[in-house]
Structure 1
Amino acid sequence: MPSVSIFVISSETHSERRYDLHLTIGQLKNKLESITGIPHDSQRITLHDPGSEDDTNAKVLSTLDDETKPLGYYNIRDWQILRVKDLNPSANFAEGQYTDVSNVEKFEISEEDYASRRDTVLAYKQAHQIGRFAPQAPNHSEEESIPENITLNARCEVDTNDSGLKKRGTVRFIGKTKFAKGIWVGIEYDEPLGKNDGSVQGERYFTTKPLFGGFVKPDRVSTGEFPVEELDLEEEEM
């Protein structure tokens, strides 16, 4: 059946409705009574163009006053406005009857109880990381920076956990990695004292022979004129 989407406005209500165009004006008034609170016999229904919701003096296109006529008789189009006026407001209800909620009993719940429930908007936001529960963007002002004294292909010496013992090699990588946060320095050691060949967890950062590669934090690396020397040292690194 053909139908139309319209806005229904009264002094107390504003809603969007869809009605069959074969509905008679009398039947329409019965439906509007439950929406607006205005009794059937007290209703005066006027038709207005879209966009005049807040204009009480908007031009009246038609007055739907023949209760035997169908809604389609008045050539109503989608999104036009039906304004329902109460012809006897003092006898029907007081102003604000449907909009004043000051005396409505409210359901209240403590913050603790609300937070413990799993069927709330709060729980949904937490589960989907929305709003204040979204992952925080990194504070770039506090990010670890690349030391200026460490450059690619520079000779270097790496501090170890053993007092007085160091490992020497060449800087082959410096920057961020996928295996851990922060800045890392990739070293090609002079001896097979490393843990890898320049790749970690399937990601390659530089290339060297097996066990000649390792990654350390910048504060353990000193660059300078370090000649190659043979060492016999095992050190655990990432």
Structure 2
Amino acid sequence: MGSRLQIPGDDSILLHVTHSNLKNFAADVRFSLEMTVESVKEKLWKKCGTSVDSMRLELYDDTGAKVCDLDDNFRPLGFFSPLDGYRVHVIDLDPSSVTSGGWLEDTSLVEKYSISDEAYNKLDGTFRKFKEKLASQNPSILESKIPDNYMEDLGTNIKVGDRCEVEPGGKRGVVKFVGKAETVAPGFWVGIQYDEPLGKHDGTVKGKRYFDCPPLHGALLRPDKVKVGDYPERDPFEEDEI
């Protein structure tokens, strides 16, 4: 049986609350023994969302055995002799209740808000606008944390003309540039001409040409993304062979 440590002048008890629809809901709530069952329901409504009229309450002791139904809205809670550690189970009788269907607990059921880049760019006061303004006023602020020789050690192992594979994705191509790209960011960069049109440009980045390649075959990457070695062009039919 449960036990209650009575504090002089304190007529409240601590009950564990569970819910029929909300499997992950559990709370310890303190109630006055003088509260009517209807008042208990009103307090629970604010915590779990089930309306007072749609709520049925069951009282269980600390061994899990059912004690009784709290079925008289006008009786005080103390009439049912609950003790600290007992459990009140809320049963939602409304099939269209906000607690039904699991959407209050399963965030995958909630439609996510999204906005296109075009619409986002039209908004004022966004972090993107702040970052662009900061960069236009003082580009060195955003680049100050990157040293001028960033990844130089890795870049020395890569030579123009090397065959390579780029990660992630395993895209293959040939090295066309190794060095600093002032229009991009401090440090060393590697220009790649992909074997297929998997790139973003023709070797020109932010108005400066770093190398020549066909349109949409070029990419500028950090040296740690590039592996040089024996990476021949893939046979476009090899994946169809058995």
- TM above 0.5, one fold? no
Larger radius of gyration: 1
Scaled by the length of structure 1, the TM-score of the pair is 0.39
